[in-house]
Amino acid sequence: MSGNFKTPNSSALAVVLLMLGVVLMRPSSVVAREHDPCQFFPNNTVIRDPDDCSRGLTCINFESVVTKNCTGSKAFFDKDKKDCVASLSDHSLCQISCVNATGTFVQDPKTCYGYYYCQDESWARHGTCPDTYHFDFATQSCIYSHVSNCTVKELNFCAIVKDNEKFNDPSSCEKYFVCKKGKLNNESCKDTYYDAVKGECVQKSKVNCANHPVPDKLCNKKSNVYVADGATCRGRFYCRAMATNYDTNPTWSQCPENRFFSEKHQACVEPMLSDCTHDRCESRNKTFVVSPTKGCRHYLHCVNGISEGEYPCGNYFFDEEAQACTTRIIEYPVCAA
């Protein structure tokens, strides 16, 4: 990119730099964002800052932390090498040119509010305009966003994260994204849910799911009834009566704590009356609960509402009310032989 504007004198330049905020972010500082890209990535994932190609971010608890700040002759952060480099070859929209533009500002191609100050032809420093402002190349200044003509494309995740790094797809608890050869792929966990913190597929009960997937044809031949969600003991979908076909977008809800949903009774019932075979520790205030294993001779150890293991009573039965193994014959619906 070539510039045909005058170079500011040194005193004016200092004022402009101060007003436009051309400062270098120190490592380990948290980036405050309205839409933080790290909201999708598991802990310790390293990405390139989508708003600043000179910065490397580490995702911690879904927030961006600046851990690499590239300057001088190596002014770009390489998402694959996870280090500072002189140039990038991945067509990431990071490439700018300071040729014939020393002492001036050039547009950041990724954002409307970003810009680069060309300290010389090989050294660019990144800056951003204040909130509600956009950078205007023609006037070499920040202008109100409502008078700006700038538009920016949707974020390309594969331009900021290394291939094969899993990250969250918030549309469904079983889904996640992964980039392969620079292309975004949507993948799903099998019989498990994606843990957005750990970046792996885990037992469904260990994920605080907000978007349970609707099983295929769940509401087929069903209308105005609740159907178990197939993932939890409390969750259910409501299948509405439709004029044609069946409800393909049923509404999910769940029973109160210490109650399980019963399709048979179309109601929330005492857990001991339910035949649900999913994690029976869910929302329970008990340390031990009966296991779904047939015979009622096994129990689950509950820790924070999640099953942490199954244990046998030997030739005895497990009494959930007494929280102990007993010789008395027990036949709960979930484990009755």
pLDDT at 19 > cutoff 50: no
Residue 7 has pLDDT above 80, yes or no: no
Q: Which helix (H) or strand (E) holds 12?
A: helix 10-20
Mean per-residue pLDDT of the chain: 86
* 36-77 pLDDT, tens digit each: 889 999 999 999 998 788 899 999 999 999 999 998 888 889
Contact present, 286 and 302 (Cβ < 8 Å): yes
Is the pLDDT at 138 greater than 90, yes or no?
yes
Segment 323-337, tens digit of pLDDT: 999 999 999 999 997
pLDDT digits (tens, 9 = 90+) for 78-87: 999 999 998 8
Confidence at residue 5, expressed as pLDDT on a 0 to 100 scale: 27
Q: Cβ distance 98 to 106 under 8 Å?
A: yes
What's the 3-state SS for 126-150? Answer: EEECCCCEEEECCCCEEEEHHHCCC
Residue 34's pLDDT band (boundaries 50, 70, 90)? low
Residue 93: per-residue pLDDT: 66
Rounded Cα distance, 290 and 24, in Å: 58
Residue 11 pLDDT greater than 90, yes or no: no
Q: Which CA distances in Å does 222 have to 234, 240, 265?
A: 20, 8, 15
Q: DSSP of 241-304, one letter per residue?
A: --SSS--SSPEEEEPPTT-EEETTTTEEE-GGG----S-TTTT---SEEE-SSTTS-EEEEEET
Q: What is the pLDDT of residue 299?
A: 99
Spatial distance between the Cα atoms of 263 and 276, rounded to a whole number of angstroms: 10
The phi, psi pair for 92, rounded to 5°, reads -90, 10
Q: How confident is the model at residue 4 (pLDDT cuts 50, 70, 90)?
A: very low
Most confident of 92-96, 108-112, 116-120: 116-120
Q: DSSP character for 6? A: P
**What pLDDT score was predicted for residue 23?**
32
Residue 271, pLDDT above cutoff 80: yes
- Looking at the chain, the number of H-run helices and the number of E-run strands are 1, 26
What band does 110 get if pLDDT is binned at 50, 70 and 90?
confident
pLDDT of residue 296: 98
Report the percentage of the chain scoring pLDDT > 90: 69
Give the CB-side neighbour count of residue 187, counting CA atoms within 13 A: 18
Q: What is the pLDDT of residue 10?
A: 29
**What backbone phi and psi angles, to 5 degrees, belong to 85?**
-140, 165
Structure token pair of residue 299: 């129990």
Do residues 289 and 271 touch, judged by C-beta distance below 8 A? yes
pLDDT level of residue 121 (50, 70, 90 thresholds): confident
